[in-house]
Structure 1
Amino acid sequence: MTKPRDEGWSSSEESTSIAEHAWAERMNRTLYILFASLLVSCATLSGCDDTKSNTNDDTCTGANCVLDTSVQDGTGDTTTDVKPDTVPDVETELPMDVTVDVDGEDVDDTANVEVEETVETDVADDTDVPVGCGYGSIKGRVCSPNGSDWLSDVEVSISGFDCDGNAIVIQDFTDANGFYYLDNVPTGQHSITIKTGSYTTSVDNVRVDAGKETDLTGTLTKTCLDRRAASIAVLTGTFDHIEQILDQLGVTYQLYEGDSAALNPNSARSGLDLLKNLNELLTYDILFINCGEWYQSFNLSTQAEVDLMEANLVTFVQSGGSLYVSDWAYYWAELAFPEAVDYYGDDLFEGSAKKGNIIDNLVADVISTPFQNALAPATTLTIKFNWPAWVVASSVSFTSTVHILAASVPTFSETLTDVPLVVSHKPTETSGTVFFTSFHHEAQLSGQMEQVLRFLVFQL
């Protein structure tokens, strides 16, 4: 970009407004287009030979030739020789003749143009801040793939540049009803990124006008997650059926046989085969293991097979996959991540934690912020335990998070206090998340519990 040769120019004036920068860009582009238009006719001029190479010796290849171009201002005193890809430095406010020379021959029709003053700024070219930049806002709503369940604690963000050319990220999290609000958004077109658990989607070409609010909450403008955005495997179980919740949410998944193929004729193949095959396991983002008679799997497996499945689950989670286990399926999480949760009884023996002795409703406290946001304004909920001998977690490590806590739980031998009922564990910053629930999904009939379970699915 050229600077003016005005007598009054000083270094202190080099920092200009964004509007001046945009105006200067337009003027330089106009001048450059003029040069390009004069050169397009190169292929038909005498002296151009399509068979010659593109060099600086007055030879050319078609319209890509390298030519000498001269610029003479209206005073007749200044002539500047330039190449076709060069914008010359010339006096402003004077007429200018542009002549293209091919193999020493001048083109008869030269162009006469008016040159206007341009300025140079320190603003980087990639900021691309529009003239007249201002600020507006965006309000929107996020739903599950079925289009009717609103999702809470979903991260919504946009990135770009503000009106001063500074890089920005504007972020919000949806509330209990799926609403979000992005304020102080620069005018123009934006792409919104929506992320929760293993699900990510985007909304492109969202226009924001100065002083106005863009509404994305309507039936046609709300954002629903893509049901195929996450790849899910479900291992069936005799006593729980997480797939029922997935069906309600409109999420796609692949069933694998858990306890018995006879009980689950739609299962594709054995869940044990999946756990033994790391390559196949890594094709999934989320693995659900339902509560069932998994002790039979251990009794029928060799120690080498159990060790292999344990190692594969560790790799799966550390590679970003998320694992969910309910009640009796806890032992898969115990095998892979023994430090995350201290289950009741002897950890070396599968089934020793099955000591929950209540077949009734149990009132529990919601203690983590994400779950509180999902249930707001409620801070307690009622959980239904429909089978005896459910798995009891005694305590958790500092790397785990308790989301729902029971003040008191009777076992077959004693009463425990402060018992975790929903726990999550994230081994590393880049790993997936492991979730454990002591209760079953299919037993929960209250609206509150359905809301919790649907929320939980999108945390994985």
Structure 2
Amino acid sequence: MKKSIVLLLVFISALSCSKEQTNNSSGDYSISGKFVTPNGLDPVSKASVKLYKDGTLVQDALTDSEGNFILDNLTKDSYDLSISKGQFRTSTSVDLGDLIDAFTFDLDSLPIDELPSIAVVTGYYDHIEEVLYNIGLVDQTTGEPLFDIIDGQDVADRSTVRNGHHQSNAVAKRNNPMLAPNVDFGFGDFIESPTLLANYDIIFLNCGLNETKTQFGNNLNDFVTNGGLLYATDWAYSYLAFITQGGADYLSFYEPDKSGTSLSTEAEVLDQTLIDWLDLNYNIEVPNATVTIDEFLSSWQVVDTYDPTTVIPWLYGPVEYDGISESKHLAYTFLHGDGGVLYSSFHTENNTSDATTVERLMQYMVFELADMKVTVD
């Protein structure tokens, strides 16, 4: 009997030691990396990082203001990693069994390699396509943009189809010849066709596009309601009337229209992560949480009011309009149906080869717009 008890104690002790050794060897490993735009340079903050083992989610996190993340307390197994900011994504596999004399698997920079379907409508004054191109939404072999560019001045009906890459006055100011319109339809055909609109996940309406097709803004309303994302700046506000119900929802636009006269302002940045992103990645100082916004038209569209329960404002600064001097919010995002909208009273003009502070702001807000749909999915 005593012998049996001794053997039982030895067996229990062996099990205990085995369990203790397993615990000591588990949870000691980490995976780190940095999520960046397709150019491999610009960090993407607040991106969703998900780690799977055998198809089961085991850990998730968000990237920080420098695009960095770390997943720790992992066992030495094989994993699948997915990182996304809306529909801007990348994925990879990680085998921690490959680690030798190290406890952290450093993936370094992981650029976006899966893109949403994007359409940009050209305008005389806003060149958001330059920003998209410069962050790497471009075929590295051919130099062609990985998004469709639609001539914002082309509203005439036609019976024949034109080839892409035609030149127009709407792109005359662009620095990059690769950013001419590259599809076989113009803005008139585009906005009149729910089928064409539905081909895209994100649509960009540059300031300075043709403003004679606003009666088809109901198609844009349906596009956003059904899950699309819409960027519109300054004079393109006229295409938001169906979404805002003439100012009853989200935003109301000041009348007389295009009465903004300030060419520059020191605007308060209302998001701390954006402040950190500018400072840490681009050495853009944000003293007292303010930045210089100097890319207004001489007659820009003022937002009169916004609904703080449905709209997120991004910037706030003193401006002049219609003989009035007061502070106004200058950029907004809001959800609408299953989609979302970004509207800004200022925009990019991209007259320099280097990205300006305003263009960095727009870059950041474009990714925030892209991430809005995730909130409702």
TM above 0.5, one fold? yes
| Equivalent of 1:392 in 272, 290, 302 | 302
Asked whether the 8 Å contact 1:333–1:434 carries over to 2, the reply is: no
What does 1:55-204 correspond to in 2, within 5 Å?
133-160=26-53, 169-204=58-93
Specify the SS of the correspondent of 1:315: helix
| Equivalent of 1:415 in 283, 303, 325 | 325
The letter of the residue matching 2:181 is N
| Equivalent of 1:272 in 148, 168, 188 | 188
| Equivalent of 1:250 in 136, 151, 176 | 136
Asked whether the 8 Å contact 2:217–2:242 carries over to 1, the reply is: yes
What does 1:320-331 correspond to in 2, within 5 Å?
320-331=227-238
- How far apart are residue 319 of structure 1 and its match? 2.5
What is the distance in 2 between the residues matched to 1:132 and 1:191?
21
- The aligned counterpart of 1:438 is 345
Specify the SS of the correspondent of 1:442: coil
The letter of the residue matching 1:266 is P
- The aligned counterpart of 1:262 is 168
What does 1:1-20 correspond to in 2, within 5 Å?
none
Asked whether the 8 Å contact 1:193–1:203 carries over to 2, the reply is: yes
What is the distance in 1 between the residues matched to 2:271 and 2:241?
22
| Equivalent of 1:224 in 107, 111, 119 | 111
* Deviation readout 1:22-51 (Å, 9 max, x if unpaired): xxxxxxxxxxxxxxxxxxxxxxxxxxxxxx
Is residue 368 of structure 1 aligned with residue 284 of structure 2? no
What is the distance in 1 between the residues matched to 2:226 and 2:58?
27
- The aligned counterpart of 1:425 is 334
| Equivalent of 2:198 in 282, 293, 299 | 282
User: Compared with structure 1, are the counterparts of its residues 401 and 206 closer, same or farther at alpha carbon in structure 2 (3 Å cutoff)?
Assistant: farther
Specify the SS of the correspondent of 1:259: coil
- How far apart are residue 253 of structure 1 and its match? 0.8
User: Compared with structure 1, are the counterparts of its residues 453 and 142 closer, same or farther at alpha carbon in structure 2 (3 Å cutoff)?
Assistant: same
* Deviation readout 1:187-233 (Å, 9 max, x if unpaired): 3111111111321221223427698111112xxxx21001x521100
Is residue 313 of structure 1 aligned with residue 216 of structure 2? no
- How far apart are residue 293 of structure 1 and its match? 4.8
What is the distance in 2 between the residues matched to 1:194 and 1:321?
21
Of structures 1 and 2, the one scoring higher in RCO (CA 8 A, sep 6+) is 2
- How far apart are residue 386 of structure 1 and its match? 4.5
User: Compared with structure 1, are the counterparts of its residues 391 and 341 closer, same or farther at alpha carbon in structure 2 (3 Å cutoff)?
Assistant: same
Of Structure 1 and Structure 2, which has the larger fraction of its residues in helix?
Answer: 2
Specify the SS of the correspondent of 2:125: coil
What is the distance in 2 between the residues matched to 1:456 and 1:434?
11
* Deviation readout 1:431-458 (Å, 9 max, x if unpaired): 2221011112125866433322222232
User: Compared with structure 1, are the counterparts of its residues 271 and 169 closer, same or farther at alpha carbon in structure 2 (3 Å cutoff)?
Assistant: farther
Asked whether the 8 Å contact 1:400–1:424 carries over to 2, the reply is: yes
- The aligned counterpart of 1:456 is 365
- The aligned counterpart of 2:104 is 213
User: Compared with structure 1, are the counterparts of its residues 186 and 432 closer, same or farther at alpha carbon in structure 2 (3 Å cutoff)?
Assistant: farther
- The aligned counterpart of 2:315 is 404
Asked whether the 8 Å contact 1:234–1:287 carries over to 2, the reply is: yes
Superposition TM-score, scaled by structure 2 size: 0.73
- How far apart are residue 411 of structure 1 and its match? 0.7
Q: Which has the larger radius of gyration?
A: 1
Which shows bigger deviation, 330-339 or 394-403? 330-339
User: Compared with structure 1, are the counterparts of its residues 131 and 185 closer, same or farther at alpha carbon in structure 2 (3 Å cutoff)?
Assistant: closer
Asked whether the 8 Å contact 1:237–1:293 carries over to 2, the reply is: yes
- Give RMSD over aligned pairs: 3.0
What is the distance in 1 between the residues matched to 2:345 and 2:58?
39
Which shows bigger deviation, 252-261 or 200-209? 200-209
What does 1:283-362 correspond to in 2, within 5 Å?
283-298=199-214, 306=215, 309-338=216-245, 339-345=249-255, 352-359=256-263, 361-362=264-265
User: Compared with structure 1, are the counterparts of its residues 288 and 341 closer, same or farther at alpha carbon in structure 2 (3 Å cutoff)?
Assistant: same
Specify the SS of the correspondent of 1:313: helix
- The aligned counterpart of 1:104 is none
Asked whether the 8 Å contact 1:142–1:223 carries over to 2, the reply is: yes
- How far apart are residue 254 of structure 1 and its match? 0.4
The letter of the residue matching 2:45 is S
| Pairs aligned (count) | 309
Asked whether the 8 Å contact 1:190–1:206 carries over to 2, the reply is: yes
- How far apart are residue 322 of structure 1 and its match? 0.7
What is the distance in 2 between the residues matched to 1:152 and 1:447?
19
What is the distance in 2 between the residues matched to 1:200 and 1:143?
10
Specify the SS of the correspondent of 1:391: coil
